[in-house]
Structure 1
Amino acid sequence: MRNPLSKTVVDIKPSGIRKFFDIVSEMKDAISLGVGEPDFDTPWHIREEGIYSLEKGKTFYTSNAGLKELKIEICNYLKRRFDLEYDYNKETLITVGGSEAIDIALRAMLEPGDEVLIPQPCYVSYHPCTILAGGVPVVIELKGENEFKLTKEQLLESITDKTKVLILAYPNNPTGAIMNYDDLKAIVDVIIDKDIIVISDEIYSELTYGSKHVSIASFPGMKERTIVINGFSKSYAMTGWRLGYAVGPAIVIEQMTKIHQFAIMCAPTTSQYAGIEAVKNGDVDVEFMRDAYDKRRRYVIHALRNMGLECFEPFGAFYVFPCIKSLGMTSEEFATKLLQEEKVAVVPGTAFGDCGEGYLRISYAYSIENLKIALERIERFVTKYKK
């Protein structure tokens, strides 16, 4: 029998996040700080809309691009929150989570051999999705001393005549880094001058602390070359609803919709009705959850610094990215031993790219009670191995 498998797919490594998640799920009394999932339930009024849509028998396919009402409300939301204006009909696509939107954006734009700039550490999907779309990933290694922001100099050094796309993901998973107005402004001229298209993953846009999120699409000359990816999982605690969206130039959204049409058909109808309620009336819920995350964020940073771990202050998402180089272990060794000895799961920084070596991702999307227990165990572990 001939080999039924694609070498391209076989050569892609599985997610480094799920490895530890699977182990901890089988371990009694273990605490996981590894999965990027809100511990809040989806707000009741949003769930109620989903339930009501089922009770009314709204179980049909929607338009491939999504419910008109949802697309209109998303456009209203983006204008209200981030001063972004999009045509709901031609520039908006509802997807199965933000992850699908990333995948089909790359597939819609890449020709074989096109280079995609991927600043790392970053979300695990960008690199494999680029390969699956026939592109060539070009890693830009972000630096802790720059708070893991992409600098103009790093961007210029990485561009070649084959560069087509830059994936920009701020607030960032796994580091919690953000890029403010001045940070983004410093790279906008380079992007325009070099004629680069941007995929801006803004799934954590509502989770910033101390400053409001700025989208690179809001800069002059950037809307027409930016595909903004967002969704409902993080802001509204709707991970299992699998609902995301993309907005961008009509010519790109049209081709993304074509791929979505053949591969998916449409996003779940029940989720779309719940999404309408979320973007219309969910601002109070977002603020409540953001305030809770901010308290946890400050608590975790303080605890990590007190135990002697270097940790820059993240101003977005719900992750901290402490440095463990002083302990003389690799990230994988630290995470493995911590899980075995103290029953606490964290994610090694290398799950997000080789330049994550020497770091860990710790999620604070958990209750203060669980964080307190977990951090006490981590401190005991660090004290044991501190040189």
Structure 2
Amino acid sequence: MRKNDMSDKTYPMAFVTAPGVIEFLPQERLPLAPREVRLAVRAAAICGSDLHIFKGKHPSAPLPVSVGHELAGEVVETGSAVTKVKSGDRVTVEPVIACGTCDPCLRGRYHLCRNVSFQYRRGQGAFTPFFTAHEDRVFRLPEGLSYEEGALVEPLSVALHAVQKSGVRLGNTSAVFGAGAIGLLVTMLLRQASGGRTFIVDIHDFRLQKGLELGACRAIHNRREDALEAILAATGGAGVDFTFEAVGMELTLAQALQSLRKGGTATLLGIFEESPVAVPVNLFVQKEIALLGSQGYNWDFQDALTLLERGALDLKPLITHRIGLGDLQSGFETLLNPAARAVKAVVVMG
């Protein structure tokens, strides 16, 4: 798939049109609104939520729908009133759409906007040569940060929001359930925010090994051993201060709650394909634990970029596969195949 696969007035964009089926549909190159920015996409990463969409199991994205929201690129055109960026700037995009007028938005919590949406749900996916966004949602990349790393600022912001919301402090112990990209990013951030012991739980050895490399003190294979028993044994029966559920399964949610010490906090990031699920509710009273939800990000993009600019995090180890736009279908299939040992696949363009 190349930029000139269509006319100068149209370009291809990836849509999931049925479970397991990606099609490139022509999009018209429309004039920009005064505060809109058009960028040539240089890198776009496949997210876990994209995989839910690909399987037709995302609860908020019925098919057909455009796909992709983790991207970075070069500004090639700006609207008449744009002042934040200029042509040639290297940028990433916060793909959320908030109304700006509802109560949460007016209180500065735009991630909880009553009318919240994302650009891919409005027909603007990231797996395309060109992407249009409002200038308020465009952020310059730090000097020296590659486009591929820039495409991972969005998932880093998701993880950062969860860690900051959890209230984790120096020396606290944690367990992360799920060693996909989000879980691994949470693990990296916990090393920075806490420095305490972090356990990583998954069912794939290669992801567990990656978790150890990125800061976990112990990897727990949740099929060869019981994660709850392992965490309790390693903490003298007390449990951990914080848990993060980044899988979206009934089992791991229960384990995340049960492995907390008394007064601990679990933070939920995973998308549940099957809902509702059973929850051991008596634990909330008996152990006075808390369960927090973490929705996307809220003023977290700039913090994420600051961490990267200061060299506090290295995102390159997360990228295991690089593909072209025309190989997108196989890229999705690769991520769903454990034998491929994939963590993050990035579509590289230009």
Q: TM-score range by the shorter chain?
A: 0.3 to 0.5
TM-score by length of 1: 0.34
Higher relative contact order (CA 8 A, sep 6+): 1
TM-score by length of 2: 0.36
Pick the structure with more strand per residue. 2
Pick the structure with more helix per residue. 1
